[in-house]
Amino acid sequence: MALYIVPTPIGNLTDITYRAVEVLSDCDIIYAEDTRISKKLLDHYSIVTRIESFHKYNEHRKLKSIIKKLELKNKIAIISDAGTPGISDPGFLIVRESVKNGFDVICLPGPTALIPAIIQSGFPTDRFVFEGFLPLRKGRKKRLESLANESRTIVLYESPHRILKSLKQFTEFFGGNRKISVVRELTKKFENQFRGSINDAIKFYEKNKPKGEFVICISFLKVD
């Protein structure tokens, strides 16, 4: 039996694949980051599969019992609150453990915030580096130093509370005239995008209070 990693919508409920609905309906147990959040999606698609919690505070503890269920030939699906499990969400540990124990891992293609963000940025997509959330304190400066001369497009996840502070800090490492793209609320009603220099992004978000979910792409190029 395989472990299925199933991406779920990042805002728009219709962004789920037919196959994802099929796998979630067919499997024996769905492990979800927040069962209340996922219940809404599952109800929307009339999926009645048993659901259990699997989040960053219990994932270590649950690994053994999930492996046991795979040994008993259960078909297991992992989902997170939004997007692809394992991408800045729980997923990696159970995938590693399943591989170690000889089970197939099948990750369905589907929603994730980083891919639309980088495609919409207009920056080169042939090579890019995904950094997820930067460390909040320890190791943050070192990480930014290591990215300062990166020639690939950099993709970062950021929270609305920290984005302005981060943009100001980025000027120290990338310079204020580096090209940046910031997408907000992808696939949702108030989706929008900022493109310009880091300095302009700071001015923009000083005027427009950051709200919602953000992905930042930083180009190697500077604004002329």
Q: Which tokens sit at 60?
A: 């270590």
Comparison of 51 and 182: residue with beta carbon closer to ligand SAM = 182
State phi, psi for 171 to the nearest 5 degrees. Answer: -60, -30
Which residue has the CB atom at the shortest distance from ligand SAM?
83
**Distance of closest approach, residue 12 Cβ to ligand SAM, in angstroms:** 8
**Distance of closest approach, residue 187 Cβ to ligand SAM, in angstroms:** 5
**Distance of closest approach, residue 9 Cβ to ligand SAM, in angstroms:** 9
156, β-bridge pairs = 132, 216
Comparison of 101 and 120: residue with beta carbon closer to ligand SAM = 120
Q: How far apart are CA 185 and CA 78, in angstroms?
A: 24
**Distance of closest approach, residue 157 Cβ to ligand SAM, in angstroms:** 3
**Distance of closest approach, residue 153 Cβ to ligand SAM, in angstroms:** 16
| Interface residues toward ligand SAM, by CB under 6 A | 10-11, 80, 82-84, 87-89, 112-114, 157-159, 183, 185-188, 213-215
Comparison of 101 and 128: residue with beta carbon closer to ligand SAM = 128
Q: How far apart are CA 10 and CA 110, in angstroms?
A: 10
Give the pairing of strands 128-133 and 153-158: parallel
Q: How far apart are CA 168 and CA 171, in angstroms?
A: 6
Comparison of 69 and 155: residue with beta carbon closer to ligand SAM = 155
Q: How far apart are the first and last CA of the chain?
A: 55
Quick check: 82 and 11 in contact, CB under 8 A?
A: yes
Comparison of 109 and 175: residue with beta carbon closer to ligand SAM = 109
